[in-house]
Amino acid sequence: MDYKQFQMDARRNNLVSAFGNAKTVRNDNSSRFGKYTEIYFSRDQGTIVSARIEQYLLEKSRIVTQAPGERNYHVFYYMLAGMPNAVKESLCLGNAHDFHYLTQGGAVIVEGRHDSTEYANVSSAMRVLMFSQAEMDQIWSLLAAFLHIGNVCFKEAEDSGMDVSSITADCIHHLHVAARLLGVPMEELKYSLTTRRLLTGSECVTAPLSATTAVSMRDALVKTIYSQLFLWIVDKINAAIYKPPALPASVSTPRSLVPPISPCHLHTTNYQTTNSPTSLGDSPQRPSWSKYSLNGLTSVSTKLSDDRSQYPVGSGRSSVGVLDIFGFENLKKNSFEQLCINFANENLQQFFVRHIFKLEQEEYIAEGIQWKHIDYVDNQNTLNLLALRPMNVFALIDEECQFPQGTDMSLLNKLNARHSKHSQYICPQSTVEKAIGSRKRSPTLGLQFKKSLNSLMRTLQVCQPFFVRCIKPNDLKQPGIFDRDLCVRQLRYSGMMETIRIRRAGYPIRHKFTEFVDRYRPLVTQHPVPVGQDVGKAVKVICSSALTIGGYCLGRSKVFLKDFHDQSLERERDRKMAICATTIQAHWKGLLHRRQYLKLRQAAVILQKVTRRYISRTRYKKARRTILQFQALIHCEQKQCEFKNTRRFIIQLQAVARGYLTRYNTRRRQWAAFTIQTAYRIMLIRKASRKDKVCVYIFT
């Protein structure tokens, strides 16, 4: 699963919850619509590759009215608390206390919920789910327009003896802002809120509305656009998070995957019906998973439940579907929506009963098992009365909506006349008017809901269901409080008591013969278990060896066991498997230890080799160092001897040289002295000779 897909899957809940959840007296974050989420996984890696959601029966009446202690949908309060002031000023918005649609329940603030922070989360979720900024601005404009329309008030007037309505002067500003945000002229919006059109044959008759009926028309407009906006948001989310499987080249992409159009076209839907205002102000039907026209453009709504038929089998992924839907509702003032909600829950309860009770008994009969029948509450008659019998309740409601002058009493009289003898129908015991609504409903709402519910039931029937019963511990919404009586009532009403009884009286554990033989064959060691086609004989051998008498039955193709027998078989199998596992572990551990021993031995040899090499090298280096030292000593001694000899020789040589030099110098000095003496004597002789000559001359 890539990070982008993970972000989208995480943020879609924030966005859908903002537009579809609200505070009720029992839950501060109650889901006011049914949601079926289908998550797709790749078969090779088991990672999430895609997802999509389907919504059922949004509670549209909450948009215009809330019971005491309850709030409107969260998104309105998020917008007013967290939207920047500049944007709020452009939409002419203030705070939640300024708008009629947000204050009827008297619970504007919810403890522990930070509306301003949630606005940032919703905006971030829209951006992650690839809503453009223009689409986001259009959504906020539509929501602001709803609030302004809710502040439009009407007053009674009389024109030519007819009851008419007009908009009060102090509400013109809200009407003007709403018309600007919806993108329609204010006069046309005003005209649409105060008049109605009736088709009589080929003619269209326009008639004014009374103030009370105009309020109904105003609320019908808001609920119509909001429901279409909610459907568009769901389709937009699916277009972002759903990735169709890879298709062959010859298979084209289904048209149901075309992204929805922008919400800017939602407000131009023709919200004026040809009949009088509906009893709850519901919109004309949304076409059942087909194209519907909005302002001349065409959009295709994704039919989630039929996706399997659009792609070839073996697309390489599996899916898990989670259905999160509202429970039974019984309010002080119940409307047609409570009827639809409870009808959906009756269908789901019947689905649960069929899987737990009916299919259980049918399987016992098919397998030829003798057992005691358990009585349980079967609500099929109730469902037939509501939707399956000729002229059922929904059909009579649709028929009554076709009449312009249809009333609640005429509908009640028809119901009494048609179903007074039905065991599940209780006629009123007095003539006091029990109003179930003062306005007509859309003629196609019941049919639309039944089609949507049938689609859901078809989706559930092709799946492997797992039922999760949610038990509310208390009505105070406080932790650590357990209301025993409340929990027992919920368990009893949900059919859990019958489920427990049928599980205890019947055989809750069953295995096919082949599966039973494959699973419990190791339990039989005394007698060989037949192998081959005769699995029935193999089952009997296993049962006679491993089970005591009674507590199990052999059907035509299955083995039926009690809980204690299943636990006994599983304990014995676990013991056998533990022995086998211990043996396998012993051999495997022996193999691992042998491998480890061989590795250690090889490592020891290598270590020894390295150690021996290290020791040898150390010894060699030490011996070499010793030898070198010894050699150095010898060389030193030799050098010393040589030095001494050389020195002695040099001394001798020096002595000879000095003697020679001394003698030579002595001889030279002697010779020099002899020479000097000779020269001196010569000089003396010469002097004496000259003197003699003088004397001679004198004497001569």
Task: Give dist(CA 444, CA 449) in Å, integer.
Answer: 9
Residue 73 has what pLDDT?
95
Angle (nearest 5°) at CA 120 between 117 and 122: 110
Angle subtended by helix axes 211-241 and 186-194, to nearest 10: 120
pLDDT of 533: 56
Burial class (CB in 10 A: 0-12, 13-18, 19+), 1: middle
In the beta sheet, which residues pair with residue 512?
Answer: 558
List pLDDT tens digits, range 32-50.
Answer: 888 888 888 888 888 888 8
**Among residues of the chain, what percentage have pLDDT more than 90?**
24
Q: Of the candidates 419, 444, 466, 115, which has an alpha carbon nearest to the alpha carbon of residue 323?
A: 466
Task: Please give the pLDDT value at position 346.
Answer: 83
Rounded average pLDDT over 115-137: 92
DSSP state of 553: E
Q: What pLDDT score does 409 carry?
A: 84
pLDDT value of position 526:
62
137 pLDDT band (50/70/90 cuts)? very high
Residue 697 confidence class, pLDDT cut points 50, 70, 90: low
pLDDT tier for residue 90 given thresholds of 50, 70 and 90: very high
CB 567 within 8 A of CB 546: no
Greatest mean pLDDT range, 88-102, 540-554, 667-681: 88-102
Out of 149-153, 249-253, 540-544, 671-675, which region has the weakest mean confidence (pLDDT)?
249-253
CB neighbours of 356 closer than 8 A, spacing ≥ 6?
467, 495, 498, 499, 502
Residue 265 or 61, more confident: 61
52-81 average pLDDT score: 90
Q: Which tokens in the block code for residue 646?
A: 């050389």
Q: What average pLDDT does this structure show over 246-274?
A: 44
Q: Residue 629 has which token pair? A: 């030292």
Predicted confidence at residue 405, as pLDDT, reads 65
Report the pLDDT value the prediction gives residue 236, as an integer from 0 to 100. 93
Assess contact for 369 and 553: CB atoms under 8 A. Answer: yes
Most confident of the following: 306-315, 423-432, 489-498: 489-498
The C-alpha angle with vertex 188 and arms to 185 and 191, in degrees rounded to 5, equals: 150
Supply the pLDDT for residue 698.
66
HEC per residue, 8-63 = HHHHHHHHHHHHHEECCCCCCCEECCEEEEEEEEECCCCCEEEEEEEEECCCHHHH
Higher pLDDT among residues 360 and 71, named by residue: 71
Domains in the chain (CATH in brackets) are: 3-335+437-468 (1.20.120.720), 507-561 (3.30.70.1590)
Could you tell me if 278 and 224 are in contact, meaning their C-beta atoms sit under 8 angstroms apart? no
In angstroms, the CA 220 to CA 79 distance is 22
pLDDT digits (tens, 9 = 90+) for 601-635: 999 999 999 999 999 999 999 999 999 999 889 98
Assign 699 a pLDDT band (cuts: 50, 70, 90): low
* Share in percent of the chain as helix, strand, coil (round to 5): 60, 10, 30
Confidence at residue 368, expressed as pLDDT on a 0 to 100 scale: 83
pLDDT-based confidence at residue 297 (cuts at 50, 70, 90): very low
What's the whole-number mean pLDDT along residues 648-665?
A: 87
Per the prediction, the chain carries an average pLDDT of: 78
* % of residues, the chain, pLDDT over 70: 80
Tokens of 344: 């959906």
Instruction: Give dist(CA 15, CA 10) in Å, integer.
Output: 10
The radius of gyration of the chain from alpha carbons, rounded to an integer in Å, stands at: 53
52 contacts 306 by C-beta, under 8 angstroms:
no
Weakest mean pLDDT among 59-63, 279-283, 313-317, 671-675? 279-283
* Least confident range of 229-243, 297-311, 577-591, 634-648: 297-311
Strand arrangement of the beta sheet that strand 558-561 belongs to: 509-512, 558-561, 552-554
Q: Is the pLDDT of residue 502 over 50?
A: yes
What pLDDT digit, counting tens, does each position of 523-545 carry?
Answer: 776 666 555 557 777 777 777 77
User: Tell me, what's the pLDDT at 205?
Assistant: 79
Whether the pLDDT of residue 549 is over 60: the answer is yes
The C-alpha atoms of residue 115 and residue 93 are separated, in whole angstroms, by 16
CA dihedral 321, 26, 120, 131 (to 10 degrees): 40
What are the tens digits of pLDDT across the range 155-192?
887 766 677 788 888 889 999 999 999 999 999 999 98
Query: What confidence score (pLDDT) does residue 375 get?
Result: 67
